[in-house]
Amino acid sequence: MVKPVIFSVDDEPHVLGAIARDLQARYRADFRIVRAGSGAEALEAAGELKRRGTPVALFLVDQRMPGMSGTEFLAEAIALYPDAKRVLLTAYADTDAAIASINTIDLDYYLLKPWDPPEERLYPVLDELLGDWRANVPVGYDGIRVAGTLWSPRTHAVKDFLARGQIPYQWLDIEKDAQAAAMVDASSGDQVRLPVVFFPDGTMLADPPLPELAEKVGLRAPAQQPFYDLIVVGAGPAGLAAGVYGASEGLRTVVIEREVAGGQAGTSSRIENYLGFPNGISGADLARRAATQAKRLGAELMAAAEVTAVRVDGDYKIVTLDDGTELRCHALVLATGVKVRTLDVPGAERLQGASLYYGAAASEAAAYADKHVMVVGGANSAGQGAMFLSRYAAQVDILVRGDSLAHSMSRYLIDQIEAEPNITVRPYTRVTELIGDDHLERVKVCDVRTEGETEEPADAMFVFIGAVPCTGIVDGLVQTLDGFVLTGQDLMKEGRRPQGWTPARDPFLLETSVPGIFAAGDVRHDVMRRVASAVGEGAVAVSLVHKYLQTV
């Protein structure tokens, strides 16, 4: 397999030599180091690499070069390698240009010269960027292949599961690829069940249940022990934060997730207002980093393992998994989050997963290149989804019932949407029907002011219309309001503790009506539904778990 390239560009020979030396010392086992002394020379070399099919993982470019600045070079180089990571080397005088280029060329990072010692100022940055690149850009291809049809809900479910789990795969559309169709026919015999997932070891699975697929690709593993200090149910931002803090503070911790790590945030194509990521980060990348961090610190992470019931036996909490396994613990954190609210109009159920998608559906966006798609919803998730889809679709319409996006979306996101020529915001609009047999062809929309209906063509619809809490496993066990879990002072009525409460203290801030069961993140009643607040609650929940454990 061809090694991907790290490409360094600097017009000063001694600086270029020093960069190459440091890059070789760290990365030569996995990457080929290529260097050039000017932007023009580098563009010519990048073009030749492209013609040979050699991947470029990262450009490390000096900003101040005669003839062509680093920013100008990157603006042209990313046309050849749009997925390559981009880093500028700058002096203090160039930092304004570097910051501006975050918006103009999607710069990933800028480093101030000198970068010595590289162990502190160079390698940590590049390690993280190259890790992201590896996770999102498969090199060569000798991995998993998914063969199916575009407008198949089961095929979409498999592709979406792999994409959100950041398991690289190659998509084979058997309606367009005769060789792929022949592979499916040869492997499935007379009864073809789609999708068919082919693995590098020569095995295959036809229309696999997601737990079976998760086990095959290494996402699902059994619990390592029957008893834990802390069990966290849900691996969204709140659950992953609880896993990180629980493990780092010495608690035997397991995080159980019914799908893949990330939760609702994991479906976000881009989160731009989370502290510490000036260029934004996708929800999947944030989840991957957090999951890796939790496991490094000693937490277990069980993906594609669903908790089906929770019960209490004295001071112990017991969770039952979908395979019948029971795990016991001292303390439990509910971070089950929410699930998407579905569109309740004629045609929606029939087309779900077949051109009607909930969330950004990153696995499907490229299939609608140069098409007309609609986004339903006016919150940040809808705006992020629209921005992501605008990279592919010819036209993106955002349908909102209100008069504008201003009441429900962050200003920075509205500004980005207004600057995109292929995004149109359509206020006072609701969907009344989806029309099409096996895929979306037309949409009926209604003007909420006049109730007048129109019918218009569309190729796909991506829906972001809110969510409902995932609290079924604790129905009748903890107190809820409108399905959301009540905690802390919300449980106190006229200063009285909740019914059945036995400790000689009030419930802790994030504690439910059952002592030792805590809730964090979107599953809680009346919380700010932002990634940062969910992460904070996950961390705070662990500090309260420690307090609880001191009382039992």
Both structure tokens of 205: 């699975």
Helix (H, G, I), strand (E, B) or coil at 414: helix
pLDDT band at 126 (very low <50, low <70, confident <90, very high): very high
pLDDT(140) > 80: no
d(CA 347, CA 339): 20
Where do the domains of the chain lie?
Answer: 5-136, 144-216, 227-339+469-549, 348-465
Helix (H, G, I), strand (E, B) or coil at 136: helix
pLDDT at 3: 86
Task: Give the number of other Cβ atoms within 10 Å of residue 446's Cβ.
Answer: 17
Beta-bridge partner residues of 332: 231, 517
pLDDT(1) > 60: no
d(CA 84, CA 68): 19
pLDDT at 322: 93
Both structure tokens of 443: 């949409």
pLDDT at 138: 64
| CATH architecture of structural domain 348-465 | 3-Layer(bba) Sandwich (3.50)
Backbone angles phi, psi at 128, to 5 degrees: -70, -45
The string of pLDDT tens digits covering residues 184-206 is 888 766 677 899 999 988 899 99
Helix (H, G, I), strand (E, B) or coil at 83: coil
Find out whether 330 and 516 touch, Cβ atoms under 8 Å. yes
Q: Do domains 227-339+469-549 and 348-465 have the same CATH topology?
A: yes
pLDDT band at 164 (very low <50, low <70, confident <90, very high): confident
pLDDT, average across residues 536-546: 97
| CATH architecture of structural domain 144-216 | 3-Layer(aba) Sandwich (3.40)
Find out whether 436 and 415 touch, Cβ atoms under 8 Å. no
The string of pLDDT tens digits covering residues 303-314 is 999 999 999 999
The string of pLDDT tens digits covering residues 411-449 is 999 999 999 999 999 999 999 999 999 999 999 999 999
pLDDT at 431: 97
Both structure tokens of 476: 């009748």
pLDDT, average across residues 233-259: 97
Among 23-32, 106-115, 427-436, 499-508, the minimum mean pLDDT is found in 106-115
Fold of 227-339+469-549: FAD/NAD(P)-binding domain (3.50.50)
pLDDT at 552: 83
The string of pLDDT tens digits covering residues 269-293 is 788 889 998 888 988 899 999 999 9
pLDDT(266) > 70: yes
Helix (H, G, I), strand (E, B) or coil at 391: coil
The string of pLDDT tens digits covering residues 475-534 is 999 999 999 999 999 999 878 899 889 999 999 999 999 999 999 999 999 888 889 999
Find out whether 414 and 420 touch, Cβ atoms under 8 Å. no
| Structure-derived torsion over alpha carbons of residues 76, 78, 79, 83, reported in degrees to the nearest 10 | 180
d(CA 288, CA 144): 19
| CA neighbours closer than 13 Å in the CB half-sphere of residue 549 | 17
Helix (H, G, I), strand (E, B) or coil at 36: strand
pLDDT at 503: 94
- Burial class of residue 6 in the structure, from the number of CB atoms within 10 Å of its CB (0-12 exposed, 13-18 middle, 19+ buried): buried
Q: How far is CA 103 from the centre of its chain?
A: 21
d(CA 292, CA 288): 6
d(CA 116, CA 143): 38
Contacts of 523 (CB under 8 A, 6+ apart): 234, 334, 335, 336, 337, 338, 469, 470, 471, 484, 485
Among 4-8, 79-83, 539-543, the minimum mean pLDDT is found in 79-83
C-alpha radius of gyration, the chain, whole number:
25
pLDDT at 141: 58
Which CATH superfamily is 5-136 part of? Answer: Response regulator (3.40.50.2300)
d(CA 81, CA 59): 10
pLDDT at 101: 78
Looking at residue 49, what DSSP letter applies?
H
Q: What is the mean pLDDT of the chain?
A: 92
pLDDT, average across residues 351-362: 89
pLDDT, average across residues 329-354: 94
- Burial class of residue 116 in the structure, from the number of CB atoms within 10 Å of its CB (0-12 exposed, 13-18 middle, 19+ buried): exposed
Find out whether 471 and 337 touch, Cβ atoms under 8 Å. no
